[in-house]
């Protein structure tokens, strides 16, 4: 059993990068059901940089 | 050597090869012919000739071992389903001295039982040894101490129960991971005495549809292709056919839809992991890229979030019941329900 609550990295990312995640999610949700590869690339790259910053140590 | 009934599913296998990117969530085994075959030794647990394999049973056993450690003792969803299932016992005036509990959430069934059905001997069967150990250790805490319980490690597809020896077979959320659901049900029928009752709750076709959609969309957008992430689940309309094909009289099907709210998609996955319901498809890819997971969580939130920020997840539990002979006395209410036909759904 877990005794201390370890926060998984993905959870930390989602907490830190809520704004970017919302933008990316809104972009995809608007285009469903015609989904193509990399159609929301710009928003996803913003999310990805935020993720990398979070993992590197909370820049 | 034991004889088992197999079902030939060559037509569905061909379909699977022609469309590799098809998500098999609407596809269920609807085979047409039976054949008896000699059961051969070897990897008895999974390799049987001419049998379709959708799920990786070894992995499922490992996942259930893990779930035995992760599952909280008062999980509300599992208890709600078990309560609903055990409630059906009160519809019959009959008593069930011997009962067999197959996989799924054994502990919840036993906790919810509370003397209904007048069960005296309880056989608990699961593929995972750890899960049974957990049940055994919690037996002292529960108030069902008058019931003589025995624990068997076994597979639902290869029932090691003598024919016509149990009065009641209960399975709460256990049978949707069997490779051969019709075969498992037929074996249950063989194990039941005349006038025996078969009660099962499995997850139905609408379960986790939000997760399925979010996974597909995210993977399409990030990677350009899809791999199956949610297992194929029996549609409600097939449940009645399954019961009659297994040979049960008085089949009854009920559908319950539970919408469970989570704070985030990660909580949903953790809950699934704690219940032992994570992906065990043979066709799965072991790779989940971090970007895809992130994209899935973001899309799930944006597409399905409620106003208070929680996300819903649908679980559709299909309750199936069948009798061996219709000499069972039932209360007048449930007789009316049964007479409306085996595909009667109460939503």
* Residue A54 structure tokens: 């979070």
Put simply, the chain A residues between 10 and 49 with a CB less than 8 A from any chain B CB are 10-11, 13-14, 21-22, 24-26, 28-29, 32, 35-40, 44, 47-48
Q: How confident is the model at residue B28 (pLDDT cuts 50, 70, 90)?
A: very low
Inter-chain contact A21–B294, Cβ cutoff 8 Å?
Answer: yes
Inter-chain contact A22–B291, Cβ cutoff 8 Å?
Answer: no
Considering only CB atoms, which chain B residues are within 8 Å of A28? 217-218, 221, 295, 298-299, 302-303
* Residue B215 structure tokens: 């996974």
DSSP per-residue string spanning B69-103? HH--TT-HHHHHHHHHHHHGGGGBS---SEEEEEE
Considering only CB atoms, which chain A residues are within 8 Å of B223? 37
Average pLDDT over residues B98-103: 87
Q: Say which of A1, A10, A48 has its CB closest to residue B266.
A: A10
HSE-CB of B72 using CA atoms within 13 angstroms: 10
Mutate which of A5, A12, A29 to disrupt the B interface (most B C-beta within 10 Å)? Answer: A29
Decide: helix, strand or coil at residue B323: strand
Determine, yes or no, domain membership for A1: no
Q: Say which of B222, B224, B303 has its CB closest to residue A29.
A: B303
Determine, yes or no, domain membership for A43: yes
Look at strands B192-203 and B249-262 and give their pairing.
Answer: unpaired
- Cα–Cα distance list, B15 to B80, B135, B180, B204, B307 (Å): 37, 41, 18, 22, 42
- Degrees, nearest 5: CA angle B102-B16-B34: 55
Comparing CA positions, the residue from B119, B122, B114, B120 lying closest to residue B83 is B114
Q: Say which of B220, B290, B299 has its CB closest to residue A25.
A: B299
Inter-chain contact B221–A28, Cβ cutoff 8 Å?
Answer: yes
Please name the helix (run of DSSP H) or strand (run of DSSP E) that holds residue B5, with its range, or none. Answer: strand B3-7
Label residues B91-103 b or e (16+ Cβ within 10 Å = b). bbebebebbbbbb
Q: How confident is the model at residue B323 (pLDDT cuts 50, 70, 90)?
A: confident
Edge-to-edge strand order for the sheet containing B166-172?
Answer: B148-153, B121-126, B98-104, B166-172, B192-203, B311-323, B249-262
Tell me the percentage of chain B whose pLDDT exceeds 70: 77
- Residue B144: the pLDDT is 57
Q: How confident is the model at residue B23 (pLDDT cuts 50, 70, 90)?
A: very low
Considering only CB atoms, which chain B residues are within 8 Å of A14? 264, 266, 294, 297-298
Average pLDDT over residues B242-270: 89
Determine, yes or no, domain membership for A16: yes
- Residue B232: the pLDDT is 86
Interface size, chain A vs chain B, as Cβ–Cβ contacts under 8 Å: 71
Determine, yes or no, domain membership for A21: yes
Distance from the Cα of A31 to chain B's closest Cα (Å) equals 10
Measure the CA–CA gap between B102 and B125, rounded to whole angstroms.
5
Considering only CB atoms, which chain A residues are within 8 Å of B302? 21-22, 24-26, 28-29
Q: How confident is the model at residue B88 (pLDDT cuts 50, 70, 90)?
A: confident
Q: Between B329 and B220, where is the model more confident?
A: B220
Inter-chain contact B297–A29, Cβ cutoff 8 Å?
Answer: no
Q: How confident is the model at residue B176 (pLDDT cuts 50, 70, 90)?
A: confident
Please name every residue paired with B168 in a beta bridge, in sequence order, or none if there are none: B99, B197
- Residue B145: the pLDDT is 63
Comparing CA positions, the residue from B235, B216, B119 lying closest to residue B176 is B235
Considering only CB atoms, which chain A residues are within 8 Å of B298? 14, 21-22, 24-25, 28, 47
Chain B residues within 8 Å of chain A (Cβ atoms): 69, 217-218, 220-224, 264, 266, 290-291, 293-295, 297-299, 301-303
pTM of the model: 0.75
Average pLDDT over residues B30-36: 38
Which structural domain, as residue segments, surrounds residue A30? 9-56
Tell me the percentage of chain B whose pLDDT exceeds 90: 5
- Residue A4: the pLDDT is 58
Please name every residue paired with B198 in a beta bridge, in sequence order, or none if there are none: B169, B322
pLDDT in tens, A4-26: 567 888 888 888 888 889 999 89
Measure the CA–CA gap between A19 and A16, rounded to whole angstroms.
8
Residue of chain A with shortest Cα separation from B290: A10
CATH of B57-205+232-260+313-323, one of 3.40.50.150, 1.10.3720.10, 3.40.50.10610, 3.30.70.2970: 3.40.50.150
- Residue B10: the pLDDT is 40
Average pLDDT over residues B65-70: 87
Residue of chain A with shortest Cα separation from B289: A10
Residue B7 clears pLDDT 80, i.e. is over it: no
**Worst-scoring range by mean pLDDT, B179-183, B263-267, B332-336?**
B332-336
pLDDT in tens, B109-168: 888 877 677 788 888 888 888 888 888 887 766 665 677 888 888 888 888 888 888 888
pLDDT in tens, B227-247: 888 888 888 888 888 888 888
Determine, yes or no, domain membership for A2: no
Instruction: Give strand ranges (E) for B127-179.
Output: 148-153, 166-172
Residue of chain B with shortest Cα separation from A21: B298
Say if residue B73 is exposed, middle or buried (CB neighbours under 10 Å; 0-12, 13-18, 19+).
exposed
pLDDT in tens, B197-210: 899 999 988 889 99
What total of structural domains would you count in chain A? 1
Q: What is the overall mean pLDDT for chain B?
A: 77
Q: How confident is the model at residue A1 (pLDDT cuts 50, 70, 90)?
A: low
Measure the CA–CA gap between B200 and A44, rounded to whole angstroms.
44
Decide: helix, strand or coil at residue B139: coil
- Residue B115: the pLDDT is 66
Residue B9 clears pLDDT 70, i.e. is over it: no
- Degrees, nearest 5: CA angle B293-B297-B303: 135
Inter-chain contact B69–A32, Cβ cutoff 8 Å?
Answer: no
Inter-chain contact B297–A10, Cβ cutoff 8 Å?
Answer: yes
- Residue B26: the pLDDT is 43
Measure the CA–CA gap between B163 and B260, rounded to whole angstroms.
39
SS3 for B277-310 is CCCCECCCCCCCCHHHHHHHHHHHHHHHCCCCCC
Determine, yes or no, domain membership for A3: no
């Amino acid at each position: 059993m877990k005794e201390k609550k370890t926060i998984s990295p993905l959870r930390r990312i989602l907490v830190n990068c809520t704004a970017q995640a919302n933008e990316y999610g809104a972009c995809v949700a608007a285009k469903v059901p015609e989904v193509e590869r990399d159609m929301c690339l710009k928003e996803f790259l913003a999310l990805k940089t935020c993720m990398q910053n979070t993992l590197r140590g909370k820049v | 050597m034991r004889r088992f009934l197999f079902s030939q599913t060559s037509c569905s296998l061909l379909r699977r090869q022609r469309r590799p990117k098809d998500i098999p969530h609407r596809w269920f085994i609807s085979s047409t012919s039976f054949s008896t075959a000699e059961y051969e030794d070897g990897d008895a647990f999974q390799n049987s000739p001419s049998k379709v394999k959708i799920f990786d049973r070894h992995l499922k056993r490992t996942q259930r071992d893990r779930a035995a450690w992760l599952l909280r003792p008062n999980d509300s969803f599992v208890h709600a389903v078990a309560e609903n299932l055990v409630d059906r016992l009160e519809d019959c005036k009959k008593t069930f001295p011997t009962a067999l509990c197959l996989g799924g959430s054994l502990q919840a069934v036993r906790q919810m039982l509370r003397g209904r059905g007048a069960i005296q001997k309880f056989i608990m069967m699961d593929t995972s040894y750890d899960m049974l150990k957990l049940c055994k250790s919690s037996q002292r805490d529960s108030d069902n101490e008058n019931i003589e319980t025995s624990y068997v490690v076994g597979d639902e597809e290869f029932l090691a129960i003598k024919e016509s020896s149990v009065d009641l077979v209960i399975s709460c959320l256990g049978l949707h991971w069997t490779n051969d659901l019709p075969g498992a049900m037929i074996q249950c029928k063989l194990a039941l005495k005349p006038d025996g009752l078969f009660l099962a709750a499995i997850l139905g076709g609408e379960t986790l549809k939000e997760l399925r959609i979010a996974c597909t969309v995210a993977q399409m957008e990030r990677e350009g292709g899809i791999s199956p992430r949610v297992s194929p689940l029996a549609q409600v309309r097939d449940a009645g056919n399954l019961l009659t094909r297994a040979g049960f009289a008085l089949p009854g099907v009920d559908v319950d839809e539970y919408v469970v709210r989570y704070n985030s998609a990660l909580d949903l996955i953790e809950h699934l992991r704690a219940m032992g319901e994570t992906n065990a498809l043979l066709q799965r890819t072991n790779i989940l890229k971090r970007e895809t997971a992130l994209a899935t969580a973001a899309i799930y939130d944006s597409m399905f979030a409620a106003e208070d920020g929680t996300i819903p997840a649908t679980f559709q539990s299909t309750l199936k019941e069948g009798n061996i002979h219709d000499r069972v006395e039932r209360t007048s209410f449930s007789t009316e329900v049964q007479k409306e036909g085996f595909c009667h759904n109460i939503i």
